[in-house]
Structure 1
Amino acid sequence: MRVFTFLVAAVLSRIAAAGGVVVFPILALRELDDLAAGAVLVAAALAPTVVFSPLVGAVLDSARHPRLFLFGAGVVSAGGYATAALLGLVPFGVVLLALVAAGCVTPVLMGGLSSFVTGLIAPERTAYATDTLAYSIAGVSGPALCSAVIAIASPRWAALSLATAGLAGAVMMLALRPKPHSHGMSDGLWRRMTQGAVYLVRHRPLLLVTASSTLTQIGAGAFPIAAVVFSMQHWHQAETGGWIVTAFSIGTLVSAVAVAIRPIDTLPPALVMACGFALTGILTALSALNVSLAWTIVLVGLSGLFSAPSVAAMFELRTINSVASVRAQVFTVGSGLRAAAGALGAALIAPFVGVDGGVLLSLVGLIWLASAALMLPYRTASAAVVAA
Structure 2
Amino acid sequence: MISRYTTFVGAAAVARTGDELSAPALLLAGLALTGSPAVGAALVGALTIAAAAGGPLLGVAIDRSERPGRLLALALAGYAAGLTAIGLGLGRLPDAVLVGVAAVTGLLNPAIAGGWTAQLPLVRGRVPLERASAVDGLTFTAASLIGPALAGLAGAPVGIVLAVALVAAAVPVALALPARAARPGRVPLTRGFAVIVTNPALRRATATSVVSYVGFGAALVCFPLLGAQRLGGAEYGALLLSVLAAGALLANLVLARFPPPLRPDTVVTLSTAGLAAALGLAAVAGPAGLVVAAVLAGVSEGPQLTALLAVRHREAPDAVRAQVFTTGASLKIGGFGVGSALAGPVAAASTTTALMLAAGVQLLALGAGVLRKPSPERVA
Whether TM-score is above 0.5 comes out as yes
Q: Which residue of 1 aligns with 2:31?
A: 29
TM-superposed deviation, 1:387: 12
* Contact 2:315 2:378 (C-alpha < 8 Å) held by counterparts: no
- What code does the residue aligned with 1:170 have? V
* Contact 1:85 1:157 (C-alpha < 8 Å) held by counterparts: no
User: Over aligned residue pairs, what C-alpha RMSD do you find?
Assistant: 2.2
TM-superposed deviation, 1:338: 0.7
Is it true that 1:184 corresponds to 2:183 in the alignment? yes
* Contact 2:195 2:379 (C-alpha < 8 Å) held by counterparts: no
Q: Which residue of 1 aligns with 2:375?
A: 382
- What code does the residue aligned with 1:135 have? F
Distance 1:55 1:241 in 2: 37
Is it true that 1:46 corresponds to 2:40 in the alignment? no
- What code does the residue aligned with 2:139 have? A
- What code does the residue aligned with 1:263 have? P
- What code does the residue aligned with 1:76 have? G
Q: Which residue of 2 aligns with 1:366?
A: 360
Q: In structure 2, do the counterparts of structure 1 residues 32 and 201 end up closer, same or farther at CA, with 3 Å as the change threshold?
A: same
- What code does the residue aligned with 1:267 have? L
Q: Which residue of 2 aligns with 1:106?
A: 109
- What code does the residue aligned with 1:211 have? A
TM-superposed deviation, 1:87: 2.9
Is it true that 1:115 corresponds to 2:118 in the alignment? yes
Is it true that 1:211 corresponds to 2:207 in the alignment? yes
TM-superposed deviation, 1:120: 1.8
Aligned residue for 1:200, secondary structure, equals helix
% identity of equivalent residues: 24
Q: Deviations over 1:318-372 (max 9, x none)?
A: 1222211111111000001111111111101011123332332232223223222
- What code does the residue aligned with 1:163 have? V
Aligned residue runs from structure 1 range 11-30, under 5 A: 11-30=13-32
* Contact 1:16 1:163 (C-alpha < 8 Å) held by counterparts: yes
Is it true that 1:333 corresponds to 2:327 in the alignment? yes
Q: Which residue of 1 aligns with 2:300?
A: 306
* Contact 1:5 1:175 (C-alpha < 8 Å) held by counterparts: no
Q: Which residue of 2 aligns with 1:284?
A: 279
Is it true that 1:66 corresponds to 2:88 in the alignment? no
- Quick check: 255-264 or 141-150, which moved more? 255-264
- Quick check: 54-63 or 79-88, which moved more? 79-88
* Contact 2:22 2:159 (C-alpha < 8 Å) held by counterparts: no
Distance 1:209 1:183 in 2: 30
Q: Deviations over 1:252-287 (max 9, x none)?
A: 0111222222222x1111111101111122133123
Q: Which residue of 1 aligns with 2:86?
A: 84
Distance 1:203 1:16 in 2: 33
- Quick check: 362-371 or 40-49, which moved more? 362-371
Distance 2:82 2:324 in 1: 26
TM-superposed deviation, 1:11: 1.7
Q: In structure 2, do the counterparts of structure 1 residues 98 and 235 end up closer, same or farther at CA, with 3 Å as the change threshold?
A: same
Distance 1:88 1:314 in 2: 38
Q: In structure 2, do the counterparts of structure 1 residues 215 and 356 end up closer, same or farther at CA, with 3 Å as the change threshold?
A: same
Q: Deviations over 1:292-321 (max 9, x none)?
A: 312211232123112222211111111222
* Contact 1:49 1:103 (C-alpha < 8 Å) held by counterparts: yes
Is it true that 1:242 corresponds to 2:243 in the alignment? no
Q: Which residue of 2 aligns with 1:171?
A: 172
Distance 1:98 1:11 in 2: 25
- What code does the residue aligned with 1:50 have? A
- What code does the residue aligned with 1:124 have? L
- What code does the residue aligned with 1:183 have? A
TM-superposed deviation, 1:60: 1.0
Q: Which residue of 2 aligns with 1:146?
A: 151
- What code does the residue aligned with 1:194 have? T
TM-superposed deviation, 1:94: 5.3
Q: In structure 2, do the counterparts of structure 1 residues 130 and 386 end up closer, same or farther at CA, with 3 Å as the change threshold?
A: closer
Q: Which residue of 1 aligns with 2:130?
A: 125
Aligned residue for 1:263, secondary structure, equals coil
Aligned residue for 1:76, secondary structure, equals helix
Gap regions ≥5 residues in structure 2 = none
Q: Which residue of 2 aligns with 1:324?
A: 318
TM-superposed deviation, 1:175: 4.2
Gap regions ≥5 residues in structure 1 = none
Q: Which residue of 1 aligns with 2:251?
A: 255
Q: Which residue of 1 aligns with 2:160?
A: 159
Is it true that 1:272 corresponds to 2:271 in the alignment? no
* Contact 1:23 1:146 (C-alpha < 8 Å) held by counterparts: yes
Q: Deviations over 1:101-144 (max 9, x none)?
A: 32111112211111121332221011110110111111111111
- What code does the residue aligned with 1:186 have? G
Q: In structure 2, do the counterparts of structure 1 residues 310 and 159 end up closer, same or farther at CA, with 3 Å as the change threshold?
A: same
Q: Deviations over 1:55-95 (max 9, x none)?
A: 11111112101111121111111111122221346424554
Distance 2:14 2:239 in 1: 25
- What code does the residue aligned with 2:132 have? A
Distance 1:223 1:112 in 2: 27
Distance 1:97 1:225 in 2: 25
